[in-house]
Amino acid sequence: MAESQIELTLSKSQGLHSRPADLFVRTARLYASDITVHFGNRTSDAKNILHLLLLNVGAGRTIEIRASGSDASAAVEDLRSLVESDFSVVNEAAVDES
């Protein structure tokens, strides 16, 4: 099983509050891989908005994203693009998700 991980720092203007967390979860749900977000000593399922919000990740903080599965690399790359763009570069499929 393929695995991929990356450490990312959220921009100074965005933490993982409701709108960015929603986009993050919608993007993660596009992939079959198991995806987790690590912040400090806490871990969250990247596909569960409540768990992600409970991490309470503020602006300028660093998270680690880990994915395991057949599309792990693509999932991490898509989430990297989202975070590094300050949540402005969004996979269109995530926006269209119902």
Reported for 38-46, long-range contacts at CB under 8 A and 24+ positions apart, including other chains, are 38/63, 38/64, 38/65, 38/66, 39/63, 39/64, 46/79
Digit-coded pLDDT (tens) for 7-33 = 999 987 888 999 999 999 999 999 999
Q: How far apart are CA 65 and CA 39, in angstroms?
A: 9
How many distinct structural domains can be found in the chain?
1
What pTM, to 2 d.p., does this model score? 0.93
Return the active site residues.
17
**CA torsion sign, 10 to 66 to 94 to 78?**
positive
pLDDT of 55 strictly over 80: yes
Residue 64: domain span:
3-87
Give the strand order in the sheet containing 42-45.
3-9, 62-68, 34-39, 42-45
* 60 within some domain: yes
* 12 within some domain: yes
